[in-house]
Amino acid sequence: MSELMRSSLAGVPGCRDANAPFTETDQALAGAHAGAPLHWRQRLTMPAGLRTLLARWTHALGRRFLSRTKQRPPAVEEVKRILVMQFHYIGDVFFATPAIAALRRRFPNAALDALVKTRGRDVLLGNPHVNDILVFDRLCNDRTREPRTDWAALTRLARRLRGYDLLVDFTGVRASCALAALARPRWSVGFSKSGFGFVFDRELWPVQEWPLFEKCNALVALAGADARGLAPRIWLDDATPGGAGDVDILLHVGAGFPLKLWPVEKFRVVAEHYRARGLRVALVGGPGDPAEVTNLSVRQVAAWARRCRCYVGLDTGLTHIVASLGVPTVTIYGPTNPRFSFWPWPNARRVGIKLACSPGENEEKCAACRPMVCRHHLCMRMLEPSRVIQEIEPCLAASFTSSPS
């Protein structure tokens, strides 16, 4: 850290030198974590080895008695209707857009529909490769403690979805596999870590820990589509409303995963630091955020971010969307591995701290993400505002030499 920045941070409450050693309080937190008992959800979570073994048994039995792999793939001219399904979060839908574009290129005369949750609809609005966007919210995606799947509603939906020539499931959970089987498409591709991929005509198996976009691209490759060279994209027009007025720095405090959240008070420290320098700073988020945070939709935030000099957000789909627009961006990482979601956009930077409990090189997320509970949350609590400010400075400098498109 430069002497100039060190002196400027000295008067900001809550900031310290990013290169300074951990304080006694930090060390005490880390020590308490080392001996802390597991949360009841962590104790009830099935060990990874047992989950893998159960998935293999399920897959072997399904392939033996219920296999669809003998189905002949339809020719390009035979595919008239395509359905893609993605019931996960905004980022998952966003990283599936190259695969969707590849399907459109492979089957140019087919009608392509997308089935997502309400939160993913904004990502696909205006996408020229999608004919219709269908919404279904009553399916549990297995990632968080969402309401259980409404199986009666899912069965009714499956009957409405019959008649598709090709179905591609980007979700890979038990309920989406069941929906794919009940919809009875002519041909289907998908995957399932739980071993239920036998319901598809072609599947990714065994399921590896791949970056999101690589997994989606590999799935559509099973249908003959090539997504190489395509990047994730959102379509915005000039009429998309943003926030009120222009800002220099936009701070997005929200995330779909509670474990990804950085304390709001630390966002406040960053905001006050730059306001003291005369820059315009705004905090944006969702309905559950503090009153000082402006509540905007995905498309509204993206439209507003196009006019700012730097955007700071957590590891969320919205942050990746803003980075794809060419806006200088800082992504804050904690319980997730950047290798699985970080796209090399121009002027995109990332910041985080590495702990013993952080995900390994080939792990997408830490162990706390499956039960969705962590007693200490040190990866985010110990990340100082000064570290984030260090990454913002190059973005502000880059904003003078490059403008978002």
| Nearest alpha-carbon partner for 133 in 145, 147, 123, 146 | 123
| Nearest alpha-carbon partner for 175 in 156, 196, 203 | 196
Query: Is residue 312, in this structure, part of any structural domain at all?
Result: yes
Query: Is residue 310, in this structure, part of any structural domain at all?
Result: yes
Are residues 32 and 52 both part of a single domain?
no
249: CB partners within 8 A, 6+ apart: 271, 274, 279, 280, 281, 282, 308, 309, 310, 311, 312, 392, 396
Query: Is residue 392, in this structure, part of any structural domain at all?
Result: yes
User: Of 157, 186, 221, which one is at a domain's C-terminal end?
Assistant: 221
Query: Is residue 17, in this structure, part of any structural domain at all?
Result: yes
Are residues 245 and 150 both part of a single domain?
no
Are residues 13 and 97 both part of a single domain?
no
What whole-number distance in Å separates Cα of residue 102 and Cα of residue 228?
A: 8
132 HSE (CA, 13 A, CB side): 9
Counted domains in the chain: 2
Query: Is residue 314, in this structure, part of any structural domain at all?
Result: yes
Residue-level pLDDT at 391 = 95
Q: Report residues of the chain scoring pLDDT below 50.
A: 1-44, 402-405
The three-class DSSP label of residue 395 is helix
Q: Are 272 and 15 in contact (CB under 8 A)?
A: no
What CATH number should be reported for the domain holding residue 201? 3.40.50.2000
Strand partners, 83: 113, 167
What whole-number distance in Å separates Cα of residue 65 and Cα of residue 295?
A: 51
32: CB partners within 8 A, 6+ apart: 376
Are residues 256 and 282 both part of a single domain?
yes
Q: Are 170 and 92 in contact (CB under 8 A)?
A: yes
66: CB partners within 8 A, 6+ apart: 198, 199
Are residues 197 and 256 both part of a single domain?
no
**Segments forming the whole domain that contains residue 71:** 48-221
Are residues 144 and 262 both part of a single domain?
no
The residue written with tokens 């998309």 in the block is 240
Residue-level pLDDT at 210 = 81
Query: Is residue 363, in this structure, part of any structural domain at all?
Result: yes
Concatenated DSSP letters of 146-183 = PPPP-HHHHHHHHHHTTT-SEEEESS-SHHHHHHHHHH
CA-CA-CA-CA torsion for 118, 298, 337, 174, nearest 10 degrees? 0
Query: Is residue 308, in this structure, part of any structural domain at all?
Result: yes
Are residues 154 and 244 both part of a single domain?
no
Q: Are 373 and 42 in contact (CB under 8 A)?
A: yes
Are residues 63 and 22 both part of a single domain?
no
Q: Global pTM?
A: 0.84
Residue-level pLDDT at 47 = 62
Are residues 251 and 286 both part of a single domain?
yes
Residue-level pLDDT at 143 = 62
Query: Is residue 105, in this structure, part of any structural domain at all?
Result: yes
User: Of 191, 221, 251, which one is at a domain's C-terminal end?
Assistant: 221
The total number of residues written for the chain in this structure: 405
Are residues 210 and 69 both part of a single domain?
yes
321: CB partners within 8 A, 6+ apart: 90, 94, 123, 232, 234, 298, 302
CA distances in angstroms from 176 to 72, 129, 136, 274, listed in the order given? 22, 22, 11, 46
Are residues 270 and 317 both part of a single domain?
yes
User: Of 167, 194, 221, which one is at a domain's C-terminal end?
Assistant: 221
Which residue type occupies 336? T
Residue-level pLDDT at 7 = 41
What whole-number distance in Å separates Cα of residue 208 and Cα of residue 82?
A: 25
Mean pLDDT of the chain, nearest integer:
83
Are residues 244 and 388 both part of a single domain?
yes
